[in-house]
Amino acid sequence: MTIGLDSISPEKPHLEGGDQTVVSLEGVSVSYGTNRVLESVTASIAGGRITALLGTNGAGKSTLIKALSGANPNYSGTIVLDGAPVRLTSPQVASRLGVATVHQKVADGIVPGMSVADNLILTDFASGGRRGLVTERTTLERAREVLKTLDLPWSDRILRTDAGRLGISDAQLLVLARVLRTTPKLLILDEPTSALTAAEVERLFVVLRRLRAQGLAILYVSHRFGEIESLADRVLVLRDGVLAVDVPRPFDWHTILEEMLGRPTELQQGVVDIRRGERTLLAVRGLPVLANAAPLDLDIRAGEVLGVLGLLGAGKTELAETLAGARPMLGGSLELDGTPYAPARPGDAIEAGVVLVPEDRQAQGILPGWSIAHNTTLPFLRAFSSALGVLSRFREAGRGDSVIASLHVVARDAATPIDDLSGGNQQKVVVGRWLADSPSVALLDEPFRGVDIGARREIGATLRRLAADGRAGVVLSSDVDEILEVADRIVVLVDGRIVLDAYADETDRATVVRSLLAIASSDSASADSASADSGLTPTGAGPDGSIPASGPGPVPDPESDPARNENSR
């Protein structure tokens, strides 16, 4: 874990605006069945402050949020809001009392098929509305009122478009504007940046800082330490349902991490034992990863972990899915271990030993309601069945057990339904599914998203063992630090082109970030100089080694990508 404090200017403690306690929790506990998941939490959240809530998966963050937002009325203890004890029995009650929540899955707050304006005033429809008659004029008027809460300069044209076509960051702002209209006292944000690009994160932070200046109490839940360092005034850490840390700025991250993980930990500064793969295992030649991108060349080598860094829309998911046969090739050719390789469907790739841990665990990874064992064996059913197709439960359970053991999955046994696991442990199971069969090339697309640091280390270590074993590991991520933490070699992808390809000891964080941002801001000259500075030649650029000029272009919304919809049907 590289926190990269050097690259983030820590901001001064925020002093103006009252320091009044808006919400205080007094001995709040929650149990599910006989399992106590929140243990007598006592804390206070102040107005005009951003309070960050940290914790590994299963530490009780979601449980605390559910209690505060009224989603789980079965808590004990007292919640005091503005000096008066309240009972948050439902989301509606919580909202009326001034608790607004923006959930991680923004899409759940948007009604596709309705216009942006309709979505902005959605609560009016729900509450019966002041007027029965809804005309477009009144709708737009009221929508504009709502936009004022965030000073969003959205035109009428945007207001009239289908909200389902908004990018995820705009959709998030829409939901935020809508909840702010109820003038809440406490705003809860659950992993608000997990699907945003760096620029979108910055835009959100500007909004949050302004809301803080207006005196709003903000509870900010995130896994990203860099964000918290740059944004928060106070940090709360939950561990095993207990409030382990409650500190104001300046943050001592070593202590916070130790408390969060419950064991002493070293802050890793990237990979120490950098390996250089000798042999090209999977050769990508002239493959355009995006419809309008230049062809790309890439050597995936045995014996190393390759980190592909790319923001949303850079083509990293497209690259991974193409190599894994889950997406038709747009051109070019592939060679696996010296022989031509053209997977027409995922089954071909799996048979050839090329596996993909997909980006979206819920939608593409897990089989809900299934046991851990059955979740791990799905791609390899033939190997677990007799010639007549009869499955061996015993051997399946064995595979489940070995995945649990090798990735330290926290679960009772392999028969446990995967739904009962925390997000991080579910991800470990999905990763274990694909790595357990000793693939020759393992592609992991955003394997650390929404995963706690413990699970993340476990997955990283497993991947490094795979590489040490002479196979190729590929991690694709939009998070610089995740890549630096696990990769021997780093490839930066921008708009479907490789702008940096270097081993970890030949480059540094600043160079990597620069290569990512310089191109993204359409300044191809500075990008050239950035890579020239570090003495690297970008591969996969134009034939003459130049980098084609790129526009800042809109960030494609993954939901509206037709190719993806095609495939997920």
Partner 1 sequence: MSTSTAPSREGKGPETRAAVTRASVGTAIAAGIAKWGFIAVTVGLIAFFVITEPNFRTTANALGMLKYIAPTAIAGLGVALAMTVGGIDLSVGASAGFAVSIAAYTMVVANQVGGVAISVVLLGGLLIGAINAVLVVIARIPDLLATLTTMFVVVGLKLIIVDGQSISSQMTLQDGSTAPGKFTADFLWLDRGKIGIIPVPVIIFLLLTALLWFVLQHTRWGRALYAVGANAEAARLAGIRVSLYRAAAYMGCGLLASIAGLLLAARIGQGDVSAGNSLLLDAVAVALVGVSVLGAGRPNAWGTALGAVLIAVMVTGFTMVGLPYYAQDFGKGVVLLVALLFSFTFSKRRTVVVAGSMT
Output the smallest distance, CB 441 to partner 1, in A: 15
Q: Is 515 in contact with 530 (CB distance < 8 Å)?
A: yes
Query: How many CA within 13 A on the CB side of residue 125?
Result: 13
Output the smallest distance, CB 370 to partner 1, in A: 6
Cis peptide before 543 (omega within 30 of 0): no
* Residue 212, token pair as written in the block: 């803080």
Q: Residues interacting with partner 1, by CB under 8 A?
A: 29, 31-34, 36, 40, 74, 76-77, 324, 326, 345-347, 349-351, 356, 358, 363-370, 374, 378-379, 381-382, 384-385, 388-391, 419, 567-569
Identity of residue 273: D
Identify which of residues 146 and 326 has a Cβ nearer to partner 1 in the complex.
326
Strands 186-190 and 472-477: unpaired
Identify which of residues 9 and 34 has a Cβ nearer to partner 1 in the complex.
34
Identify which of residues 523 and 561 has a Cβ nearer to partner 1 in the complex.
561
Helices 168-180 and 198-213: angle between axes, nearest 10 degrees? 10
Output the smallest distance, CB 321 to partner 1, in A: 9
Continuous segment of H or E residues that includes residue 38:
strand 35-46
Identify which of residues 89 and 529 has a Cβ nearer to partner 1 in the complex.
89
Output the smallest distance, CB 368 to partner 1, in A: 4
Identity of residue 357: V
Query: How many CA within 13 A on the CB side of residue 301?
Result: 19
Output the smallest distance, CB 31 to partner 1, in A: 5
Q: How far is CA 225 from each of CA 7, 253, 260, 508, rounded to the nearest angstrom?
A: 12, 9, 12, 19
Continuous segment of H or E residues that includes residue 432:
helix 423-435
| DSSP-derived 3-state class of residue 314 | coil
Whole-angstrom distance, CA of residue 423 vs CA of residue 428: 9
Output the smallest distance, CB 409 to partner 1, in A: 18
Output the smallest distance, CB 569 to partner 1, in A: 7
Identify which of residues 249 and 564 has a Cβ nearer to partner 1 in the complex.
564
Closest by CA position to 1, among listed 456, 438, 431: 456
Identify which of residues 73 and 332 has a Cβ nearer to partner 1 in the complex.
73
Identify which of residues 75 and 220 has a Cβ nearer to partner 1 in the complex.
75
Identify which of residues 196 and 372 has a Cβ nearer to partner 1 in the complex.
372
Whole-angstrom distance, CA of residue 209 vs CA of residue 181: 17
**Phi-psi region for residue 105, left (φ > 0), alpha (ψ -120 to 50) or beta?**
beta
Sequence-ordered list of residues with C-beta below 8 angstroms from that of 389, at least 6 positions apart, any chain: none
Output the smallest distance, CB 419 to partner 1, in A: 6
Output the smallest distance, CB 424 to partner 1, in A: 18
Identify which of residues 325 and 473 has a Cβ nearer to partner 1 in the complex.
325
Strand intervals (E) in 446-496: 472-477, 489-494
Output the smallest distance, CB 404 to partner 1, in A: 19
DSSP 144-169: HHHHHTTT----HHHHHSBGGGS-HH
Sequence-ordered list of residues with C-beta below 8 angstroms from that of 337, at least 6 positions apart, any chain: 281, 282, 440
Strands 280-287 and 296-301: antiparallel
Identify which of residues 325 and 540 has a Cβ nearer to partner 1 in the complex.
325
Identify which of residues 32 and 125 has a Cβ nearer to partner 1 in the complex.
32
Output the smallest distance, CB 363 to partner 1, in A: 6
* Residue 162, token pair as written in the block: 């289908």
